[in-house]
Chains A and B, each alone.
Chain A
């Protein structure tokens, strides 16, 4: 069983709509949890970084939340744009060990 599970695996939404991506993890405690955006053919780019004690972090239209009790994190994208089409990867870091989720592939259509 993967220590970081993401859902849904893929998602298609209309431009301008909001969406929420989920990340469930079993790695605990951890030093931080990150969300990355990975465009096709590119390396991942960090969107948000939250420590174990934080429960929300925003970066423009991206807002990440963390519930340490339920071991869940979500990434909410507001007013989606075509350029948001990418894979979104949840990453949990415990000491120096980095555990990646498989990612959610988001496609924003006009």
Chain B
């Protein structure tokens, strides 16, 4: 089966600009996660969707970050405006409903904020 697709792979922006990332999970996977991974650290969960509903967004900086999964399939994560400390890799992962403990990760989008 095809893996989790993310785009773009790399993005360089200046602070205060806006940026959006896209994720297409594995077909049939109901749960989708967005993680932020700062260099040298483990991934930090930003938001978790179950179909098109939000399960957990407690660590999402809602003043600047937003995410949506309108049709319960692909998802977008937006940062507006970006700060220097947002420089990180943004990982998307998905799980099948009955195998919710097996996460499949995309390659990630590496964001550099200058």
Contacts and interface: CB of A to CB of B under 8 A. Distances in A.
Interface stretch (B11-19, B68-76, B78-86, B101-109): B101-109
What band does the interface of chain B fall in when counting residues whose beta carbon is under 8 Å from A? 20 to 34
Closest 6 CB pairs of A and B: A43-B105, A100-B42, A102-B42, A44-B105, A100-B43, A43-B107
B104 to A, nearest CB: 8
Contacts, number: 46
- State the majority secondary structure of interface residues on A: strand
A93 interface: yes
Given A46-B102, A49-B101, A41 B107 contact: yes
A89 B42 contact: yes
Given A43-B106, A49-B101, A96 B56 contact: yes
Contacts of B64: none
Interface of B: 4, 33, 40-45, 48, 55-56, 91, 93, 100-108, 110
A5 to B, nearest CB: 11
B102 A96 contact: no
A32 B4 contact: no
A97 B56 contact: yes
Given A32-B101, A41-B110, A46-B102, A96 B48 contact: yes
A78 interface: no
